[in-house]
Amino acid sequence: MNKKDLPEMSLVSFHQTKDGYKACVILMFITASCVVILNIMALIFIVTKQRKKMQNHQKYSTGAKRNEMILTSLCVANVLLGVGVLADSACYVNGQELWAGAYMIGFGLITSLIHIGMLTLERFIAVKFPFKYKEINPKFVIATSIIVWLLSVLPALTIRYNFNLFLIVLFSLLLVSNVVITCVYSYIIFHIRCSNQSKHKSKLSPGQPSASLWYSKEQKEQQNKVTAFCFSIVISYVVSTMPSVIWYLTHYEQSFTPYSGSVIGSLLFILLISRSLADPMIYIFRERIHKKFTYLHSKFALKSEKISSTISSTGEVEEMKPCMEEEKFEP
């Protein structure tokens, strides 16, 4: 099928639509308002946290800097997306066209999706290559974010003149991001569940107890939390994005727009932007949970070595105290 045969963006007057579709437009407006409010709150939280650390002269790890830089950029992109939907919806209800709102929606969607991919790859590098991860300069993250913002402008500019090209770029990103997120977090879950405890088994002679007997109960609980959280990230992302991808692949001859008068199209768009509601807080909590698990993981490794050397030298087993009683964790 040629590009000329594909339909361009079609708009149906708000006052000529049925009540069900009008309710969808109102729900879209409410969802966009929540996106703006929650992402602004997340920005305030991140900035306040940074200032508090600077005032208290606390050591600020480069890993936290990298993560928060990407999170800040993601929140700004989500705010632009929400503002664009608000402006576009208001103009649509009043029977006016605001292409600036459409540009902001497209720009915010593309930028937000790429930043989700950056956060996913950041976590993969931190788990798979921890030493190389520490060597990544925060300035490199800033430069990458700037490049992402600049590249996201290009597909957004095609909305008015070649809407179908924009849809191809958008749904290609959605499909690729689903594959990347599913693969990366599946690897992280496998890494945590299968290779964590085996790395720290003591090399003892036959008949001596393994250090896994002292595997901290708190670390096991934290291990389950990390696994459940990674699984929830994958499920929430797939549920919010894949329905739109499936609809587009099965209805490629139709234009995917929230203002076509279709209730299904509007609900799919609302589901797509609803992902931006919880994105910032999800990745803030993800960082805290992973940081605490890494702390307990390292404490257990030190305890394992200490117990192994004690058993090897004396042949007696010492009771292992819980990790968190020795040192309080400060995220």
Per-residue pLDDT, 178: 92
pLDDT at 304: 47
The predicted structure's pLDDT at residue 76: 92
Q: How far apart, in whole angstroms, are the C-alpha atoms of residue 309 and residue 319?
A: 14
CB atoms within 10 A of CB 23: 12
pLDDT reported for residue 158:
84
Cα torsion 20, 22, 24, 30: sign: negative
Looking at residue 319, its pLDDT comes to: 45
Q: Please give the pLDDT value at position 1.
A: 34
Q: What is the pLDDT of residue 10?
A: 46
What is the structure's pLDDT at 39? 92
pLDDT at residue 52 in the model: 79
Options 1.10.490.10, 1.20.1070.10, 2.40.37.20, 1.10.10.10; CATH for 15-200+220-302 is 1.20.1070.10
User: How is the chain split into domains, by residue range?
Assistant: 15-200+220-302
**203 backbone dihedrals φ, ψ, rounded to 5°:** -90, 85
**For residue 68, what pLDDT is reported?**
81
- CA 281, chain centre distance (Å): 9
Q: Check residue 149 and give its pLDDT.
A: 92
> What are phi and psi for residue 108, nearest 5 degrees?
-65, -40
CB-CB neighbours of 211 under 10 Å = 23
**Virtual CA dihedral for 285, 287, 292, 298, nearest 10 degrees?**
160
pLDDT mean by block of 10 residues, the chain; 331 residues: 40 57 84 92 85 66 69 91 88 73 86 89 82 80 90 85 85 91 87 60 45 54 75 87 88 72 82 84 70 55 48 47 40 37
